[in-house]
Amino acid sequence: MGRRGEHSLAEIKAMALNTAIEIITQQGLAQLSARKVAKQMGYTVGTLYLVFKNFHDLVSQANAMTLDELYRHSLNYSQHAIENKVLQISLGYLQYALDNPNRWRAIFEYQMPEQEQWIPEYAEKVQKLFALVESLLVVQCPSLPSDSVHLTAHALWSGVHGICVLALTGKLQGIELEQVPDLVSLLVNNCLLGLQQQD
């Protein structure tokens, strides 16, 4: 159990984020609360609010850590691919979602109240993921007009993301879980083929 003065504010913040992620991972976002985080740490809820503006700030920063992990995971997939890195990063994204369903879903399911804002770095971390896809698209589809790379990356990723959502919610009727990577491969390969055949 933590005691007042036993940890620095920086340590308390790190403990809180790790605890929040542990709860999300094991129990899901719906089970996360400031009270549960504080209790598991051995501190009071008031102590949490010495290092976070409010509960929304805690969730925002925890999800930001998941985005960082998702980026590293996706980058690792693409770096180890000899060819078709766009496909590999897509499969890496799917695998992360399948391996970490509660953390992955928390990124998209948490509804930030209108009066609150995500931490400033949050949008940058999301864009960093899209920038990785864009950079790989440029290499694999050199004829793709530069002014359409951003939109193309979003369109492609929306398809991959949609497959992940349907897979995790059990709504891919007639498709077994082990076939889901094949769906992603069909989507990405056909998209790339169409782009590469453009004049």
Q: How far is CA 144 from CA 97, 108, 130, 178, 185, in A?
A: 29, 29, 16, 32, 20
Domain boundaries, the chain: 1-52, 54-196
d(Cα 2, Cα 181) in Å, to the nearest integer?
44
Nearest to 177 by CA among 188, 164, 186: 164
**Which CATH fold topology does 1-52 show?**
Arc Repressor Mutant, subunit A (1.10.10)
Q: Where are the beta strands (DSSP E) in 78-198?
A: none
SS3 content of the chain, % helix, strand, coil (to 5): 75, 0, 25
CATH of 54-196, one of 1.25.40.10, 1.10.10.60, 1.10.357.10, 1.20.81.30: 1.10.357.10
Count the neighbouring beta carbons within 10 Å of the beta carbon of residue 179: 11
pLDDT number for residue 1: 44
Q: Are 65 and 17 in contact (CB under 8 A)?
A: yes
3-state secondary structure of 115: coil
As a whole number of angstroms, the longest Cα–Cα distance in the chain is 67
Q: What is the residue whose two structure tokens read 């694999």?
A: 140
pLDDT number for residue 114: 76
Report yes or no on whether pTM surpasses 0.85.
Answer: yes
pLDDT number for residue 92: 93
pLDDT tens digits, 66-119: 999 999 998 888 887 778 999 999 999 999 999 999 999 999 888 887 777 777
Q: What residues in the chain have per-residue pLDDT under 50?
A: 1-2
